[in-house]
């Protein structure tokens, strides 16, 4: 049995502890905040609205994830799936919202792309196999396979909505390694995807009281509850073990020895860990990983203010459309009980790598900056009946071109210190599903 320290009580840290305890190990989770969940923060407001500070949806894309959720007593009873009528995603072009389903046939049938743009997609079917000798941007990769128009309108909007990122700066190999592998083995991305047998019917889910329900439920399963409000005082390497001194919530100083450490805290906080100087000097340069700022703005409106039916997931805005926000979600159309009776909840995202200067910690100014566009595009009249915002100075880690060098430096550190592991969303994927995969 190993004695394992896990730094951070976000979804990744909690799932690691759960899996290690199943294998018979003892886990101690150290968390500086006063609650578990990391960036998963769900809030039920007195007005009846339910908002999310971080992720708003969970793509359940594997049977192992579904089985895990159903293994937690009482959790499956609170699970809710997205409204089947919300399949449409809208993309803005020339002040028109074009409905797109996540299928190539839907893109071809839509009026989002020109005839030339649609033909460019089909040229991928004839793409030769290619083993690139250097990393390229996601934008260049998609342009090579599907044409510039798709890269500018679909890819650009999608990456802004999922990564808060700029595809011209993100690494194709690090962000979508499977697509790069398809290029190596078959050439055509479309033919590769079509040849893959669908093993699981992915669904978008949440929980009745928000996504924070999941980390809370996992934490309640653990033999050793996470130590919250914990201040780590030092981390030292001692005879193939790791000594951690920390101050407990009751202000007691505790020193313990661990066989292994798993660090799941955000990359931009790692350099601040109180590691002994010898170890600190060997750390990868985590501060070089860009985390763009993002503001999350939730607005509620009465049904009488909304003149256009809401029959989709939400909408995304390509950079070429020159709007001052990235897009929005139709939250109460996606999930039930997100807004009081006869009201609708929307969430909008501002800033990201595209326009970091627009992400500000000022709700009133955010509303002033975005409401005119929102009203026009969604045919909404009047001021919101509810508003709430959350500012993130550091959001999603960006897997920038050349990111494999960052990953190599992390692997080199772990090779030099085989009992110290980095397990954050800066490697292996940024999604919630990536955080709950089984060890």
DSSP sequence for 299-324: EEEEGGGB-S---EEEEE--GGG--S
CA distance 147 to 123: 8
Token pair in block for residue 359: 């992400």
Residue 333 lies in a domain: no
Both 191 and 216 in one domain: the answer is no
Both 187 and 128 in one domain: the answer is yes
Q: What is the pLDDT of residue 133?
A: 83
Domain final position from 168, 195, 222:
195
Q: What is the pLDDT of residue 251?
A: 85
Residue 318 lies in a domain: no
Number of domains in the chain: 2
**What are the pLDDT tens digits along the chain (439 aa)?**
999 999 999 999 999 999 999 999 999 999 999 999 999 999 999 999 999 999 999 999 999 999 999 999 999 999 999 998 888 899 999 999 999 987 888 999 999 999 999 999 999 999 999 999 889 999 999 999 999 999 999 999 999 999 999 999 999 999 999 999 999 999 999 999 999 888 899 999 999 999 999 999 999 999 999 999 999 999 999 988 999 999 988 888 999 999 999 999 999 999 999 999 999 999 999 999 999 999 999 999 999 999 987 789 999 999 999 999 999 999 999 999 999 999 999 999 999 999 999 999 999 999 999 999 999 999 999 999 999 999 999 999 999 999 999 999 999 999 999 999 999 999 999 999 999 987 6
Both 176 and 220 in one domain: the answer is no
Domain extent, residue 180, equals 102-195
* Those residues with Cβ within 8 angstroms of residue 58's Cβ, 6 or more apart along the chain or in another chain: 204, 205, 206, 211, 214, 432, 433
Q: What is the pLDDT of residue 439?
A: 67
pTM of the model: 0.95
Q: CATH no. for residue 176?
A: 1.10.3110.10
Q: CATH no. for residue 415?
A: 3.50.50.60
* Those residues with Cβ within 8 angstroms of residue 90's Cβ, 6 or more apart along the chain or in another chain: 97, 98, 99, 100, 312, 314, 315, 316
Both 251 and 217 in one domain: the answer is yes
- In the beta sheet, which residues pair with residue 42? 52
Residue 274 lies in a domain: yes
Domain final position from 171, 195, 219:
195
Residue 417 lies in a domain: yes
- In the beta sheet, which residues pair with residue 421? 262
Maximal CA-CA distance, the chain:
69
Residue 119 lies in a domain: yes
């Amino acid at each position: 049995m190993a004695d394992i320290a896990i730094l951070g009580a976000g979804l990744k840290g909690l799932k690691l502890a759960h899996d290690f305890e199943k294998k018979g190990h003892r886990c101690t989770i150290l968390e500086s905040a006063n609650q578990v969940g990391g960036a998963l923060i769900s809030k039920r407001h007195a007005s009846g609205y339910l908002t999310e500070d971080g992720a708003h949806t969970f793509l359940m894309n594997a049977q192992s994830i579904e089985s895990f959720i159903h293994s937690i007593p009482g959790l499956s009873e609170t699970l809710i799936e997205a409204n089947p009528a919300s399949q449409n995603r809208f993309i803005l072009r020339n002040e028109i919202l074009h409905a797109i389903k996540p299928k190539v046939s839907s893109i071809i049938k839509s009026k989002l792309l020109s005839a030339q743009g649609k033909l460019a997609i089909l040229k991928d079917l004839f793409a030769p196999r290619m083993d690139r000798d250097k990393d390229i941007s996601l934008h260049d990769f998609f342009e090579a396979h599907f044409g510039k128009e798709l890269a500018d309108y679909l890819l650009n909007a999608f990456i802004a909505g999922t990564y808060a990122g700029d595809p011209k700066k993100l690494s194709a190999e690090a962000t979508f390694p499977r697509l790069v592998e398809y290029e190596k083995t078959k050439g055509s991305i479309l033919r590769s995807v079509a040849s893959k047998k669908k093993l699981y019917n992915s669904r978008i889910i949440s929980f009745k009281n928000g996504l924070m329900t999941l980390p809370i439920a996992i934490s309640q399963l653990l033999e050793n509850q996470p130590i919250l409000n914990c201040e780590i005082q030092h981390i030292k390497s001692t005879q193939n073990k790791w000594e951690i001194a920390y101050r407990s919530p009751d202000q007691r100083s505790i020193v313990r020895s661990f066989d292994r450490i798993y660090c799941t805290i955000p990359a931009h906080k790692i350099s601040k860990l109180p590691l002994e100087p010898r170890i600190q000097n060997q750390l990868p340069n985590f501060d070089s990983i860009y985390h763009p700022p993002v503001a999350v703005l939730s607005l509620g409106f009465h049904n009488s203010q909304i003149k256009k039916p809401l029959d989709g997931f939400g909408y995304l805005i390509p950079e070429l459309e020159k709007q001052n926000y990235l897009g929005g979600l139709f939250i109460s159309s996606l999930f039930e009980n997100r807004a009081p009776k006869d009201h609708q909840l929307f969430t909008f995202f501002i800033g990201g790598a595209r326009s970091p200067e627009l992400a500000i910690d000022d709700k009133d100014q955010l509303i002033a900056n975005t409401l005119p566009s929102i009203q026009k595009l969604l045919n909404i009249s009047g001021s919101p009946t509810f508003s709430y915002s959350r500012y993130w100075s550091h959001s999603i880690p960006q897997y920038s071109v050349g990111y494999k060098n960052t990953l190599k430096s992390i692997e080199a550190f772990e090779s030099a210190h085989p009992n110290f592991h980095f397990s954050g969303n800066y490697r292996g994927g940024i999604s919630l599903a990536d955080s709950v995969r089984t060890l």
